[in-house]
Amino acid sequence: MMQSNLPLQGLRVVEMGQLIAGPFASKMLGEFGADVVKIEPPGIGDPLRKWRKLKDGTSLWWHVQSRNKRSLSLDLKAAEGQEIARRLIAEADVLVENFRPGTLEEWGLGWDALAEINPRLIMLRISGYGQTGPYRDRPGFGVIGEAMGGLRHLSGYPGQAPVRVGVSIGDSLSSLYGVIGVLLALQERQRSGLGQNIDVALYESVFAMMESLVPEYDAFGYVREPAGSALPGITPSNSYPCNDGRYVLIAGNGDSIFKRLMTLIGRTDLGDDPRYAHNDGRSQHAELIDNAIAEWTLQRGRDEVIAALNEVRVPAGFPYSAADIVADPHYLARQMIAQVQTSAGPLKVPGVLPKLSRTPGRIGGGGPQLGEHSEDILAGLGLSAEQVAGLRERGII
């Protein structure tokens, strides 16, 4: 059942995206009450339906990425399909798309054309390189955005091939920036009554996370390099081995935290040394400090190490696997593991973020079947049953 107090209740969103960046953005809008109509190609649907692990022929990822959406199967390459899209968009608040730049223009669905029929429309466009610039026509996936944005150069260990984060972080970061853009545009529309076009590039979304990368190069000619599990220039913050073959992550880089950590491991000589009182001094001797901590952790099991660190208020943890996550009492207490009913049966899925105290988001169920809501959506546009049947016969839906 739809909650009546969701913050985006009444917001109408049309999604023309596929795979990750566009659909992740509209997923978030749907979790907070927006009515999201997802347009998919007839017969095949969004390729994400067949990505990673499948159950009953459908990706389990699909039930996370496409929850709270209604599916309309529609051939956007056909003139009839384009006309139906225009009718939908004429009544929409937001359009989300992540096709190659120029694709919607080829279909007569570019920004200028759509803004003319719906001046209040907010159009979120996510692409590899953005809608302008010399690279705009290049194909771009999240992995390429992560590389160009600077993240891949910093990933892994010195002298080894760069590694990737095990999820599509470039796409998801772009989605988050896209949602921020939509919310900003909605706020501005309250004053002007007009929509606007939001241009998000994958590489720029990654680049925005690169902290002091550019000013350090500009000021000193310093090129930041991969550093494995350490965080260069912030000490101590690293991964340390335990005697049970597992690892613990310790972030003892606050000045007072560092002193408590050194007292715990029996190295007050380091904790009281004025050279290490502040981060800049500690970072000049990071290897010495890391070795001292590792000597202590190697004498203990991981759980013992974390318990001792928690006792003296030193931030510590370990790399969680999926099994660790679903069993963790804190995840459960904060409702970050939800169970929903899907076409593949009941499934555990991630909960909703951010957490609003008065109007929290919701998960209505898993992802829709291809074209599951086509007839209802088209009837809402005023098409008769005979017209819908004709569209189906011609392969438009």
Q: Exactly one of 112, 171, 255, 272 is catalytic; which is it?
A: 171
CA 52 to chain centre: 17
Alpha-helical (H) ranges within the chain are: 21-31, 62-65, 79-90, 103-106, 111-117, 142-148, 151-154, 169-192, 202-207, 213-220, 255-264, 268-271, 279-283, 286-297, 302-311, 322-327, 329-333, 374-380, 385-393
Give the orientation angle of helix 255-264 with respect to helix 302-311, to 10 degrees. 130
Q: Are 130 and 202 in contact (CB under 8 A)?
A: no
Alpha carbon distance 232, 377 (integer Å) = 54
CB count within 10 Å of CB 197 equals: 18
* Adjacent-strand bridge partners of 15: 38, 96
Cα–Cα nearest to 122, from 170, 188, 64: 188
171 is annotated as an active-site residue: yes
Q: Which residues, including other chains, have CB under 8 Å from residue 119's CB and lie 6 or more apart? A: 193, 194, 195
Annotated catalytic residues are 171
